[in-house]
Amino acid sequence: MVKLEDSYVPLSQLPEWSDVTPIPQDDGPHPVAPIAYTQEYAEAMDYLRAVMKARELSSRALELTEEIVWLNAGHYTAWAYRLDILKHLNVDLYSELDFLSEFAEVNPKTYQLWHHRQEIVKLLNDPSREHDFIAKLLATDSKNFHAWSYRQWVVTQFNQWDGELPYVAQLIDEDVRNNSAWNQRYFVLTRGSTQDLDRDTLRREIDYCLEKMALAPNNECPFAYCRGLLKKFGTHDDWLLIRAQLRALGGVANAGDVAAARSQYAWGLLLDTEEHLIREATEEEGLTARRAEVRRVRTNFRV
Amino acid sequence: MQSAPTNEFLTRKHVAYFQRCLSLLPHSYQCLDSTRLTLGMFCFSGLDLLGTLTTVLSQDERRGYIDWIYAQQVTAAVTDVPGSHGFCGGPFSGPMTSEDKARNHYTVANLAATYSALVSLVVLGDDLARVDRHEIVTSLRHLQQPNGGFTPHPYSIECDLRFVYCACAICHLLDDWSGVDKAKAVGFIRACQQYDGGFATAPGNESHGGVLVSAVASLKLMGHLDDDTAFDRSAAVAWGLRQQDRGFHGRVNKEDDTCYSYWIGAGLKVMGAYDLVNLERQRAFLLATQRHIGGFGKAPSDYPDTLHSYMGLTAFSMMGEPGLKELIPELNISMDAYQAFRARQSSALCRSSPI
Ligand SMILES: [Zn+2]
């Protein structure tokens, strides 16, 4: 692997680069936000410009792109160029996956890395290594946004929905405040918002939320998740159920009983529930008073 | 990094900080080498919000910077690759010779850089006369995907809300929407609103504060902010407000971070809900991330960086800090710079059209 740190030898001294004329960067007389480049980076870029201008699809150019992305992971055209070289040279793309796995451990939040990997896996048409790769990164940072978004692509692209719910449930068990896992739960159950929930699943999810709410009443995740499910799939009975449960959970008798509320999220969801039921109701007794009460609470407490 | 929080907004230190960033950044910024135009935009807009752009930069310097920005423009004379016209993030791709276009195959503009370039030019007092409008608009048409989202450049499969916003702001500044299918773009934005009311970078992903303003500013610029079918406004407002602890955090149960006082704060401002932000708490948090050498860090113990410094500044502007210019949240340009730009344009129009 070419990762120049201690043993830096200028490219200009390497015989395999002697036929290339490096192209320096032209910043003009008024450079905007110039960067004090390291010597390695400045030189590698001079050579990269030369081979990219020549569209040289060679193995030395492949190595050079590797060096560049280690020094500047966000160099987006270097990644595009690298992909072109890989396709042209017909190299073993599994070794590219190995490189990317190693690279991801150091630079897990580089956008280009994830899209490059997606391109490679598409070419290979083989997702068999992806779950381990992603799980390893999520073990280090269970909220890595890129890893989750990539996981959604893998699951969808290769129809790997089975097994996803138990995995997500396990992560929520490990950390009930992991909102990325909650989001993935919604994603799996609705198949990426393409599928409705049946009655049994919805009731099961509401129970699941209630259990997690009781566990940590000041955790936003289950409240937001529950609200989302109810708004999209809930019936009148589901809303009535959640109102009763929230009152019990929050120890509040009505939406205005702020002082007694143990959880701002329980209380916020309860308000939304009241509002929803008011909208649905037609001639229920005391409707005007309830509506006024919700409005008063919202105005006073800005929710 | 330790520095005792002060109760003051350090105007003069911030001016010096942006001046330093504009003239030389340390090598830790090397990973942002492809986005120098955006770093420049933070500096120019930062100095503009502080009201010092024309006092600390001479007219010659401003002209010089304008020329540097135009030197990053990828025109039809440089390449024929569809979708590649606009601005490149810096001079890293090498000289744009027009003798042999094949040599410029990897010289492609990027929507984020094009947006940054246009904003910087407006702020610096240019009238965009040298911008190749037609080519940029044609590129946009090429970069919009079937799902309505945009990729940043023709070699990318990264399709998300950030680039929808860049496209919308570009169209607004160029007064030409012919490169965007608005209905599709609105559809993409709608698909990005998640079950919890927040917006995700792409459909299905976790709601992320970084794109709240992208979503609602795009809708506003397209004239769909009051369209109930485009998004659930009250859910978006409620989500944004729930992300305030002291400052704002970008995702549920994450730590507060200076930049979300812009991303989420500006989103709330666009939706007309900024009066619901707890300004005292936010101010205390931002004063803690403000550094005595100027600039802002991401969190109270962090070194300052260009992005967080600019975002911290915008938050103080939105909170009405005396001495700071007013920001147009959906464009991320000061009202002052924007109005001056429009005035320059209409006087140029008067000169060119016979009465
Ligand atoms: Zn940040």
Q: Residue A109 catalytic?
A: yes
A302 found inside a domain: yes
**Does residue B274 share a domain with residue B154?**
no
B22 found inside a domain: no
A219 CB-near residues (< 8 Å, 6+ apart) = A176, A177, A212, A213, A265, B253
Instruction: Give the residues across from B193 on adjacent strands.
Output: B199
Is residue B4's pLDDT more than 60?
Answer: no
What residues does the ion ligand 1 have nearby, CB within 5 Å?
Answer: B 257, 259, 298
Pick out chain A residues at pLDDT < 70: 1-6, 250-262, 282-287, 293, 296-303
A127 found inside a domain: no
B11 found inside a domain: no
Q: Answer with the one of A59, A91, A123 that is the final residue of a domain.
A: A91
CA angle at B56 for the pair B55 and B57, rounded to the nearest 5° = 95
Q: Give the mean model confidence (pLDDT) for residues B82-102.
A: 94
Interchain proximity A72–B30, CB inside 8 Å: yes
Is A31 touching B (CB cutoff 8 A)?
yes
B349 found inside a domain: no
| Least confident window among A255-259, A260-264, B103-107, B298-302 | A255-259
Catalytic residue among A3, A53, A109, A231: A109
Instruction: Kindly state the helix (H) or strand (E) to which residue A43 belongs, with its residue range.
Output: helix A39-53
Q: Quick one: pLDDT at residue A1? A: 44
Q: Which residue has the tokens 């999520």?
A: A138
Interchain proximity B103–A119, CB inside 8 Å: no
Interface ipTM: 0.95
Interchain proximity B104–A232, CB inside 8 Å: no
Domain holding B84: CATH number? 1.50.10.20
User: E strands within B100-144?
Assistant: none
Kindly report the average pLDDT of chain B as a whole number: 96
The Cα–Cα gap between B110 and B34 comes to 10
Q: Quick one: pLDDT at residue B250? A: 98
Q: Answer with the one of A33, A66, A91 that is the final residue of a domain.
A: A91
The Cα–Cα gap between A135 and A149 comes to 13
Q: Give the mean model confidence (pLDDT) for residues B289-313.
A: 97
Interchain proximity B65–A30, CB inside 8 Å: yes
Is B109 touching A (CB cutoff 8 A)?
no
A289 three-class SS: helix
Question: B308 alpha carbon to ligand 1 midpoint, in Å?
Answer: 6
Domain count, chain A: 2
B27 found inside a domain: no
The Cα–Cα gap between A85 and A100 comes to 16
Chain B CB contacts of A186 under 8 Å are 194-195
Q: How far is CA A272 from the centre of its chain?
A: 28
What is the 8-class DSSP label of residue B333?
E
Q: What are the tens digits of pLDDT across the range B166-225?
A: 999 999 999 999 999 999 999 999 999 999 999 999 999 999 999 999 999 999 999 999
The Cα–Cα gap between B39 and B23 comes to 11
Is residue B300's pLDDT more than 60?
Answer: yes
Instruction: Find the largest Cα–Cα distance for chain A.
Output: 90
DSSP H helices, chain B, are 11-23, 36-49, 53-56, 59-71, 111-124, 133-143, 161-174, 182-192, 212-222, 233-242, 260-270, 279-289, 306-318, 335-352
A242 found inside a domain: yes
B302 found inside a domain: yes
| Least confident window among A179-193, B2-16, B243-257 | B2-16
The Cα–Cα gap between B353 and B344 comes to 14
Contact status, residue B149 vs residue B161, Cβ threshold 8 Å = yes
Task: Tell me the residue range of the domain where A245 lies.
Answer: 196-303
B32 CB-near residues (< 8 Å, 6+ apart) = A35, A74, B38, B39
Q: Which residue has the tokens 């002209």?
A: B63
Angle, helix B11-23 to helix B36-49, in steps of 10 degrees? 150
Q: Name which of A31, A35, A225 is nearest B195 (Cβ-Cβ).
A: A225
Interchain proximity A72–B33, CB inside 8 Å: yes
Q: Quick one: pLDDT at residue A297? A: 65
